Chain A
Amino acid sequence: MVGTESLGEVSIASLDPAGLQRFASEKLLELISAEQCSTAWVSGSLVERLGNRGSDVDVFVVVEALSSNLPATHKDHDHWTHVFVIGGTRVDIEFWPAAAIDSLARKLHAVCLDDLDVHTYRYLDYWESEFIHRLYVGLPLIHESAFRALLETFDRRLFSRYLFESGIRRFNDAFDDTAGMLASGQSSCAALRARETVETAIDVLMYGSGITNDKAKFRTLKIRRLVECFADYRGYEETLWRFETGLPADPGERLAYAEEALRFAADLTGFVQDRVHALAWTHIGVETGDREHRPSSLLP
Protein backbone atom coordinates (compact mmCIF):
# COMPACT_ATOMS: atom_id res chain seq x y z
CA MET A 1 0.00 0.00 0.00
CA VAL A 2 1.18 3.50 -0.80
CA GLY A 3 0.44 5.94 2.00
CA THR A 4 1.50 9.46 2.81
CA GLU A 5 5.09 9.87 1.74
CA SER A 6 7.61 12.62 1.53
CA LEU A 7 9.01 13.51 -1.83
CA GLY A 8 12.01 15.18 -0.26
CA GLU A 9 12.46 18.78 -1.31
CA VAL A 10 10.43 18.43 -4.48
CA SER A 11 6.79 19.52 -4.52
CA ILE A 12 4.71 17.48 -6.95
CA ALA A 13 2.57 20.51 -7.73
CA SER A 14 5.68 22.34 -8.92
CA LEU A 15 6.69 19.66 -11.42
CA ASP A 16 6.44 20.50 -15.10
CA PRO A 17 4.19 18.26 -17.26
CA ALA A 18 7.12 16.04 -18.24
CA GLY A 19 8.08 15.67 -14.57
CA LEU A 20 4.50 14.83 -13.67
CA GLN A 21 4.48 12.26 -16.44
CA ARG A 22 7.60 10.56 -15.04
CA PHE A 23 6.30 10.72 -11.47
CA ALA A 24 2.88 9.31 -12.37
CA SER A 25 4.39 6.58 -14.49
CA GLU A 26 6.64 5.42 -11.63
CA LYS A 27 3.82 5.46 -9.08
CA LEU A 28 1.43 3.65 -11.38
CA LEU A 29 3.90 0.87 -12.09
CA GLU A 30 4.40 0.43 -8.33
CA LEU A 31 0.72 -0.46 -8.13
CA ILE A 32 0.06 -2.49 -11.25
CA SER A 33 1.98 -4.08 -14.07
CA ALA A 34 1.95 -2.69 -17.60
CA GLU A 35 0.24 -5.89 -18.75
CA GLN A 36 -2.78 -5.16 -16.55
CA CYS A 37 -3.83 -2.11 -18.56
CA SER A 38 -4.44 -1.14 -22.18
CA THR A 39 -3.12 2.35 -21.66
CA ALA A 40 -2.88 5.06 -19.00
CA TRP A 41 -2.42 8.81 -18.88
CA VAL A 42 -1.84 11.56 -16.35
CA SER A 43 -4.06 14.60 -16.56
CA GLY A 44 -5.77 17.36 -14.63
CA SER A 45 -5.09 20.98 -13.86
CA LEU A 46 -1.42 20.45 -13.00
CA VAL A 47 -0.78 18.95 -16.44
CA GLU A 48 -2.56 21.95 -17.99
CA ARG A 49 -0.52 24.26 -15.78
CA LEU A 50 -3.71 25.74 -14.40
CA GLY A 51 -3.36 24.07 -11.02
CA ASN A 52 -1.82 25.03 -7.73
CA ARG A 53 -0.39 23.53 -4.54
CA GLY A 54 -3.84 22.23 -3.61
CA SER A 55 -4.49 20.50 -6.93
CA ASP A 56 -4.73 16.73 -7.37
CA VAL A 57 -2.82 14.58 -9.80
CA ASP A 58 -5.28 12.56 -11.87
CA VAL A 59 -4.23 9.31 -13.48
CA PHE A 60 -6.56 7.37 -15.75
CA VAL A 61 -6.02 3.69 -16.45
CA VAL A 62 -7.90 1.65 -19.05
CA VAL A 63 -8.40 -1.95 -18.06
CA GLU A 64 -10.21 -4.84 -19.70
CA ALA A 65 -12.43 -5.24 -16.63
CA LEU A 66 -12.61 -4.14 -13.01
CA SER A 67 -11.15 -7.00 -11.04
CA SER A 68 -10.21 -7.69 -7.45
CA ASN A 69 -6.48 -7.50 -8.13
CA LEU A 70 -6.75 -3.74 -8.78
CA PRO A 71 -6.14 -1.42 -5.83
CA ALA A 72 -9.19 0.69 -4.99
CA THR A 73 -10.27 2.99 -2.18
CA HIS A 74 -13.63 3.85 -3.86
CA LYS A 75 -15.69 1.53 -6.03
CA ASP A 76 -18.29 3.22 -8.24
CA HIS A 77 -20.49 1.14 -10.50
CA ASP A 78 -18.52 1.96 -13.63
CA HIS A 79 -15.02 2.75 -12.39
CA TRP A 80 -12.79 2.35 -9.36
CA THR A 81 -10.52 4.92 -7.81
CA HIS A 82 -7.40 4.49 -5.75
CA VAL A 83 -6.47 7.58 -3.75
CA PHE A 84 -3.27 8.30 -1.92
CA VAL A 85 -1.30 11.33 -0.76
CA ILE A 86 2.34 11.82 -1.53
CA GLY A 87 4.44 14.85 -0.66
CA GLY A 88 1.26 16.68 0.36
CA THR A 89 -0.37 16.12 -3.02
CA ARG A 90 -3.38 13.90 -3.53
CA VAL A 91 -3.13 11.38 -6.35
CA ASP A 92 -6.29 9.83 -7.82
CA ILE A 93 -5.81 6.76 -9.96
CA GLU A 94 -9.00 5.88 -11.79
CA PHE A 95 -9.47 2.46 -13.37
CA TRP A 96 -11.90 2.43 -16.29
CA PRO A 97 -13.09 -0.61 -18.22
CA ALA A 98 -12.52 -0.25 -21.97
CA ALA A 99 -16.21 -0.93 -22.61
CA ALA A 100 -17.30 2.05 -20.47
CA ILE A 101 -15.01 4.37 -22.42
CA ASP A 102 -16.21 2.99 -25.72
CA SER A 103 -19.77 3.58 -24.58
CA LEU A 104 -18.94 7.21 -23.75
CA ALA A 105 -17.36 7.74 -27.18
CA ARG A 106 -20.51 6.39 -28.81
CA LYS A 107 -22.67 8.62 -26.63
CA LEU A 108 -20.72 11.68 -27.74
CA HIS A 109 -20.97 10.59 -31.37
CA ALA A 110 -24.76 10.34 -31.04
CA VAL A 111 -25.27 13.89 -29.74
CA CYS A 112 -27.68 15.88 -31.91
CA LEU A 113 -26.60 19.50 -32.26
CA ASP A 114 -28.49 20.50 -35.39
CA ASP A 115 -32.05 20.40 -34.13
CA LEU A 116 -33.36 23.25 -31.95
CA ASP A 117 -36.07 20.99 -30.59
CA VAL A 118 -33.56 18.50 -29.21
CA HIS A 119 -32.42 19.58 -25.78
CA THR A 120 -28.72 18.78 -25.43
CA TYR A 121 -27.97 20.83 -22.33
CA ARG A 122 -26.38 18.43 -19.83
CA TYR A 123 -26.58 15.63 -22.39
CA LEU A 124 -23.21 14.55 -21.04
CA ASP A 125 -22.89 14.19 -17.30
CA TYR A 126 -20.30 16.40 -15.66
CA TRP A 127 -17.88 13.53 -15.13
CA GLU A 128 -18.28 12.48 -18.75
CA SER A 129 -17.28 15.82 -20.24
CA GLU A 130 -14.49 16.08 -17.70
CA PHE A 131 -13.26 12.61 -18.65
CA ILE A 132 -13.16 13.54 -22.34
CA HIS A 133 -11.35 16.80 -21.65
CA ARG A 134 -8.84 15.07 -19.42
CA LEU A 135 -8.19 12.52 -22.12
CA TYR A 136 -7.52 15.32 -24.63
CA VAL A 137 -5.01 17.06 -22.39
CA GLY A 138 -3.57 13.85 -20.95
CA LEU A 139 0.01 12.71 -21.23
CA PRO A 140 0.44 8.99 -21.95
CA LEU A 141 2.13 6.81 -19.35
CA ILE A 142 1.91 3.32 -20.81
CA HIS A 143 1.26 1.96 -24.32
CA GLU A 144 1.31 5.32 -26.11
CA SER A 145 -0.01 3.97 -29.40
CA ALA A 146 -3.12 2.68 -27.61
CA PHE A 147 -3.51 6.11 -26.00
CA ARG A 148 -3.37 7.79 -29.43
CA ALA A 149 -5.91 5.33 -30.78
CA LEU A 150 -8.22 6.07 -27.84
CA LEU A 151 -7.96 9.81 -28.54
CA GLU A 152 -9.15 9.20 -32.08
CA THR A 153 -12.35 7.55 -30.86
CA PHE A 154 -13.58 10.84 -29.38
CA ASP A 155 -14.67 13.36 -32.01
CA ARG A 156 -12.87 16.51 -30.88
CA ARG A 157 -14.81 18.91 -33.07
CA LEU A 158 -18.13 17.44 -31.98
CA PHE A 159 -17.11 17.77 -28.34
CA SER A 160 -16.18 21.41 -28.86
CA ARG A 161 -19.51 22.05 -30.54
CA TYR A 162 -21.32 20.32 -27.69
CA LEU A 163 -19.59 22.49 -25.09
CA PHE A 164 -20.24 25.57 -27.19
CA GLU A 165 -23.97 24.83 -27.51
CA SER A 166 -24.18 24.11 -23.78
CA GLY A 167 -22.40 27.39 -23.10
CA ILE A 168 -24.82 29.26 -25.37
CA ARG A 169 -27.76 27.78 -23.48
CA ARG A 170 -26.31 28.87 -20.14
CA PHE A 171 -25.71 32.32 -21.64
CA ASN A 172 -29.30 32.47 -22.98
CA ASP A 173 -30.71 31.63 -19.56
CA ALA A 174 -28.61 34.26 -17.81
CA PHE A 175 -29.32 36.87 -20.48
CA ASP A 176 -33.10 36.34 -20.47
CA ASP A 177 -33.16 36.38 -16.66
CA THR A 178 -31.27 39.67 -16.57
CA ALA A 179 -33.43 41.29 -19.24
CA GLY A 180 -36.56 40.30 -17.30
CA MET A 181 -35.14 41.62 -14.04
CA LEU A 182 -34.19 44.88 -15.72
CA ALA A 183 -37.68 45.27 -17.16
CA SER A 184 -39.08 44.80 -13.65
CA GLY A 185 -36.63 47.17 -12.01
CA GLN A 186 -34.97 44.47 -9.91
CA SER A 187 -31.68 46.28 -9.90
CA SER A 188 -29.70 44.18 -7.43
CA CYS A 189 -30.77 40.84 -8.94
CA ALA A 190 -30.22 42.21 -12.46
CA ALA A 191 -26.70 43.40 -11.67
CA LEU A 192 -25.61 40.06 -10.19
CA ARG A 193 -27.22 38.03 -12.96
CA ALA A 194 -25.72 40.39 -15.55
CA ARG A 195 -22.29 39.61 -14.18
CA GLU A 196 -23.03 35.92 -14.68
CA THR A 197 -24.17 36.71 -18.22
CA VAL A 198 -20.76 38.22 -18.91
CA GLU A 199 -19.06 35.17 -17.40
CA THR A 200 -21.07 32.76 -19.57
CA ALA A 201 -20.31 34.88 -22.65
CA ILE A 202 -16.60 34.60 -21.85
CA ASP A 203 -17.05 30.83 -21.50
CA VAL A 204 -18.66 30.76 -24.95
CA LEU A 205 -15.66 32.66 -26.31
CA MET A 206 -13.31 30.09 -24.78
CA TYR A 207 -15.28 27.11 -26.10
CA GLY A 208 -15.29 28.77 -29.50
CA SER A 209 -11.54 29.20 -29.19
CA GLY A 210 -10.89 25.51 -28.65
CA ILE A 211 -10.65 25.27 -24.89
CA THR A 212 -12.53 22.24 -23.58
CA ASN A 213 -11.74 22.79 -19.93
CA ASP A 214 -15.12 23.94 -18.59
CA LYS A 215 -14.16 24.63 -14.99
CA ALA A 216 -15.43 28.06 -13.98
CA LYS A 217 -12.84 28.31 -11.22
CA PHE A 218 -10.12 28.62 -13.85
CA ARG A 219 -11.97 31.14 -16.03
CA THR A 220 -9.55 33.99 -15.40
CA LEU A 221 -6.51 31.78 -15.93
CA LYS A 222 -7.93 30.42 -19.17
CA ILE A 223 -8.66 33.87 -20.59
CA ARG A 224 -5.15 34.94 -19.51
CA ARG A 225 -3.74 31.96 -21.41
CA LEU A 226 -5.67 33.02 -24.49
CA VAL A 227 -4.35 36.57 -24.19
CA GLU A 228 -0.80 35.23 -23.98
CA CYS A 229 -1.37 33.28 -27.21
CA PHE A 230 -3.52 35.81 -29.07
CA ALA A 231 -3.27 39.47 -28.13
CA ASP A 232 -6.68 40.25 -29.63
CA TYR A 233 -8.31 38.63 -26.59
CA ARG A 234 -6.89 41.27 -24.25
CA GLY A 235 -9.96 43.50 -24.50
CA TYR A 236 -12.21 40.63 -23.44
CA GLU A 237 -10.04 39.90 -20.43
CA GLU A 238 -10.07 43.56 -19.39
CA THR A 239 -13.83 43.79 -19.81
CA LEU A 240 -14.38 40.62 -17.80
CA TRP A 241 -12.38 42.09 -14.91
CA ARG A 242 -14.22 45.40 -15.20
CA PHE A 243 -17.56 43.67 -14.75
CA GLU A 244 -16.27 41.31 -12.07
CA THR A 245 -14.96 44.15 -9.96
CA GLY A 246 -17.30 46.99 -10.89
CA LEU A 247 -20.62 46.15 -9.22
CA PRO A 248 -22.07 49.51 -8.18
CA ALA A 249 -23.71 50.16 -4.82
CA ASP A 250 -26.24 52.65 -6.16
CA PRO A 251 -29.46 50.98 -7.47
CA GLY A 252 -29.65 53.32 -10.47
CA GLU A 253 -26.08 52.58 -11.39
CA ARG A 254 -26.78 48.87 -11.06
CA LEU A 255 -29.36 49.11 -13.84
CA ALA A 256 -26.85 50.86 -16.11
CA TYR A 257 -24.23 48.24 -15.18
CA ALA A 258 -26.63 45.43 -16.10
CA GLU A 259 -27.56 47.07 -19.44
CA GLU A 260 -23.92 47.52 -20.34
CA ALA A 261 -23.13 43.95 -19.35
CA LEU A 262 -25.94 42.62 -21.55
CA ARG A 263 -24.72 44.65 -24.51
CA PHE A 264 -21.17 43.36 -24.12
CA ALA A 265 -22.27 39.75 -23.65
CA ALA A 266 -24.74 39.79 -26.55
CA ASP A 267 -22.19 41.39 -28.88
CA LEU A 268 -19.55 38.86 -27.89
CA THR A 269 -21.70 35.76 -28.28
CA GLY A 270 -23.13 37.11 -31.54
CA PHE A 271 -19.61 37.63 -32.88
CA VAL A 272 -18.36 34.22 -31.75
CA GLN A 273 -21.36 32.41 -33.22
CA ASP A 274 -20.74 34.10 -36.57
CA ARG A 275 -17.04 33.24 -36.46
CA VAL A 276 -17.35 29.56 -35.60
CA HIS A 277 -20.03 29.26 -38.28
CA ALA A 278 -17.84 30.97 -40.88
CA LEU A 279 -14.78 28.91 -39.97
CA ALA A 280 -16.71 25.64 -39.72
CA TRP A 281 -15.32 24.91 -36.26
CA THR A 282 -11.68 25.42 -37.08
CA HIS A 283 -11.68 28.15 -34.46
CA ILE A 284 -11.35 31.85 -34.25
CA GLY A 285 -8.36 34.10 -33.94
CA VAL A 286 -5.86 31.84 -35.64
CA GLU A 287 -3.25 34.18 -37.04
CA THR A 288 -1.08 31.57 -38.72
CA GLY A 289 -3.66 30.53 -41.26
CA ASP A 290 -3.65 27.09 -39.71
CA ARG A 291 -7.09 25.64 -40.23
CA GLU A 292 -6.55 22.68 -37.95
CA HIS A 293 -8.53 22.23 -34.80
CA ARG A 294 -6.86 23.87 -31.86
CA PRO A 295 -5.62 21.87 -28.90
CA SER A 296 -8.01 21.58 -25.99
CA SER A 297 -5.69 23.41 -23.70
CA LEU A 298 -3.33 26.16 -24.71
CA LEU A 299 -0.21 25.05 -22.93
CA PRO A 300 2.52 27.68 -22.61
Chain B
Amino acid sequence: MNIDLQACYRRRYDVRKRRFADHIYLIRDGSIFEMDEFSNDVWRLCDGSQTVLHTITVMKDRFPDVDSLRIAGLALYTIEFFVEHRLAAAE
Protein backbone atom coordinates (compact mmCIF):
# COMPACT_ATOMS: atom_id res chain seq x y z
CA MET B 1 0.00 0.00 0.00
CA ASN B 2 1.26 3.47 -0.85
CA ILE B 3 0.76 6.07 1.83
CA ASP B 4 0.93 9.63 0.54
CA LEU B 5 3.12 11.67 2.89
CA GLN B 6 1.05 14.78 2.19
CA ALA B 7 -2.28 13.07 2.86
CA CYS B 8 -4.27 13.59 6.04
CA TYR B 9 -5.85 10.53 7.60
CA ARG B 10 -8.84 10.57 9.84
CA ARG B 11 -10.26 8.10 12.31
CA ARG B 12 -13.45 6.50 11.00
CA TYR B 13 -16.65 7.54 12.72
CA ASP B 14 -17.55 3.97 13.73
CA VAL B 15 -14.34 3.20 15.66
CA ARG B 16 -14.04 3.67 19.38
CA LYS B 17 -11.07 3.32 21.69
CA ARG B 18 -11.13 1.40 24.93
CA ARG B 19 -8.34 1.81 27.42
CA PHE B 20 -8.36 -0.81 30.13
CA ALA B 21 -5.59 -1.19 32.69
CA ASP B 22 -2.45 -1.18 30.52
CA HIS B 23 -4.19 -2.29 27.35
CA ILE B 24 -5.48 -0.06 24.56
CA TYR B 25 -7.93 -1.37 22.02
CA LEU B 26 -9.67 -0.08 18.93
CA ILE B 27 -13.11 -1.55 18.38
CA ARG B 28 -15.12 -1.47 15.18
CA ASP B 29 -18.15 -3.59 14.43
CA GLY B 30 -17.13 -6.39 16.78
CA SER B 31 -13.49 -6.47 15.67
CA ILE B 32 -10.88 -5.66 18.28
CA PHE B 33 -7.35 -4.40 17.59
CA GLU B 34 -4.83 -3.97 20.37
CA MET B 35 -2.52 -0.97 20.23
CA ASP B 36 0.67 -0.05 22.05
CA GLU B 37 1.48 3.48 23.22
CA PHE B 38 3.27 4.26 19.93
CA SER B 39 0.32 3.32 17.75
CA ASN B 40 -1.99 5.13 20.18
CA ASP B 41 0.04 8.30 19.63
CA VAL B 42 -0.26 7.85 15.86
CA TRP B 43 -3.99 7.18 16.27
CA ARG B 44 -4.45 10.47 18.09
CA LEU B 45 -2.69 12.28 15.27
CA CYS B 46 -5.12 10.83 12.71
CA ASP B 47 -7.52 13.72 13.19
CA GLY B 48 -7.93 14.65 9.54
CA SER B 49 -5.76 17.76 9.79
CA GLN B 50 -2.23 16.36 10.21
CA THR B 51 -0.28 15.15 7.20
CA VAL B 52 1.55 11.85 7.40
CA LEU B 53 4.79 13.79 7.16
CA HIS B 54 3.82 15.86 10.18
CA THR B 55 2.86 12.71 12.10
CA ILE B 56 6.29 11.23 11.38
CA THR B 57 7.98 14.45 12.55
CA VAL B 58 5.97 14.49 15.79
CA MET B 59 6.78 10.85 16.47
CA LYS B 60 10.49 11.44 15.80
CA ASP B 61 10.43 14.27 18.35
CA ARG B 62 8.79 11.98 20.89
CA PHE B 63 11.50 9.37 20.51
CA PRO B 64 14.70 11.37 19.91
CA ASP B 65 16.94 8.47 20.95
CA VAL B 66 15.50 6.06 18.41
CA ASP B 67 16.70 5.89 14.84
CA SER B 68 14.66 8.29 12.70
CA LEU B 69 14.20 5.85 9.85
CA ARG B 70 12.88 3.25 12.24
CA ILE B 71 10.38 5.72 13.67
CA ALA B 72 9.25 6.78 10.19
CA GLY B 73 8.85 3.15 9.15
CA LEU B 74 6.85 2.32 12.25
CA ALA B 75 4.58 5.34 11.82
CA LEU B 76 3.95 4.47 8.16
CA TYR B 77 3.29 0.84 9.04
CA THR B 78 0.83 1.91 11.73
CA ILE B 79 -1.10 4.21 9.39
CA GLU B 80 -1.16 1.47 6.76
CA PHE B 81 -2.57 -0.90 9.35
CA PHE B 82 -5.29 1.59 10.26
CA VAL B 83 -6.24 2.01 6.61
CA GLU B 84 -6.14 -1.70 5.73
CA HIS B 85 -8.41 -2.53 8.64
CA ARG B 86 -10.79 0.37 7.87
CA LEU B 87 -10.01 2.12 11.12
CA ALA B 88 -8.93 5.33 9.39
CA ALA B 89 -9.22 6.78 5.90
CA ALA B 90 -7.65 9.56 3.86
CA GLU B 91 -9.59 12.81 4.00
Interface mask (A264-300 → B, CB under 8 Å = 1, otherwise 0):
0011011101100100000000000000000000000
Shortest distance between the CB of A119 and any CB in chain B (Å): 13
**Quick one: given A183-B29, A270-B44, A274-B44, are A262 and B17 in contact (CB under 8 Å)?**
no
Residue contact B15 to A266, C-beta cutoff 8 Å: yes
Q: CB of B21 within 8 A of chain A?
A: yes
Q: Contact: A274 with B20, CB < 8 Å?
A: no
Closest chain B residue to A180 by CB distance? B29
Complexed CA–CA distance, A214 and B9 (Å): 36
Q: B14 near A179 (CB under 8 angstroms)?
A: yes
Question: Which A residues are in CB contact (< 8 Å) with B11?
Answer: 263, 266-267
B48 nearest CB across to chain A (Å): 9
Chain A residues in 8 Å Cβ range of B27: 172
Question: Known contacts being A182-B14, A263-B13, A266-B11, is A273 close to B19, with CB within 8 Å?
Answer: yes
Q: Are B17 and A116 in contact (CB under 8 A)?
A: no
**Residue A205 at the B interface, CB < 8 A?**
no
* B85, CB-defined interface residue at 8 Å: no
Interface size on B, residues (CB 8 A): 17
A276: nearest residue on chain B (CB-CB)?
B19
CA A114 to CA B23, docked complex, whole Å: 10
Residue B40, interface by CB 8 Å: yes
Q: In the assembly, what is the distance between CA of A238 and CA of B20, in Å?
A: 29
Q: Which of B1-33 contact A (CB under 8 A)?
A: 11, 13-21, 27-29
Question: Are the CB atoms of B18 and A172 closer together than 8 Å?
Answer: yes
Smallest CB–CB gap between A197 and chain B, Å?
Answer: 9
- B43: chain A residues at CB < 8 Å are 270
Q: Does residue A168 face the partner (Cβ distance < 8 Å to B)?
A: yes
Q: How far is the CA of A294 from the CA of B60 in the complex (A)?
A: 35
Say yes or no: is A175 at the interface (Cβ < 8 Å to chain B). yes
Beta-carbon contact of A175 and B16 below 8 Å: yes
Whether A172 contacts B16 by the Cβ 8 Å rule is yes
Task: Tell whether, in the assembled complex, residue B17 and residue A114 are in contact, meaning their CB atoms are under 8 Å apart.
Answer: no
What's the Cα separation between A270 and B45 when bound, in Å?
12
Q: Write the chain B residue with the least CB distance to A178.
A: B14
Question: Which A residues are in CB contact (< 8 Å) with B47?
Answer: 267
> Are A179's CB and B29's CB within 8 A?
yes
Taking a contact as CB atoms under 8 Å apart, the answer to whether A114 and B21 are in contact is yes
Does A269 contact B14, Cβ atoms closer than 8 Å? no
| A201-B28 Cα distance, complex, nearest whole Å | 17
Contacts of A130 in B (CB 8 A): none
Decide yes or no whether A259 CB sits under 8 A from chain B. yes
- A262/B40 in contact, CB under 8 A: no
- Within 8 Å CB of B40, what residues of A? 274
| Bound: A183/B86 CA distance, A | 14
- A residues 154-175 in Cβ contact with B at 8 Å: 168, 171-172, 175
Q: Contact: B13 with A270, CB < 8 Å?
A: no
C-beta contact mask, B52-76 vs A, less than 8 Å → 1, else 0?
A: 0000000000000000000000000
Complex Cα–Cα for A273 and B43 (A): 14
Complex Cα–Cα for A116 and B43 (A): 22
For this complex, 17 residue pairs linking A to B, each with C-beta atoms less than 8 Å apart, are: A114-B21, A171-B16, A175-B16, A179-B29, A183-B29, A259-B13, A260-B13, A262-B14, A263-B11, A266-B11, A267-B47, A269-B16, A269-B17, A270-B17, A273-B17, A274-B44, A277-B19
What is the interface of chain A, defined by CB distance below 8 A to chain B? 114, 116, 168, 171-172, 175-176, 179, 182-183, 259-260, 262-263, 266-267, 269-271, 273-274, 277
Known: A176-B16, A267-B11. 12 other contacts (CB 8 A): A171-B16, A172-B27, A179-B13, A260-B13, A262-B14, A266-B11, A266-B15, A269-B17, A270-B16, A270-B17, A273-B18, A273-B19
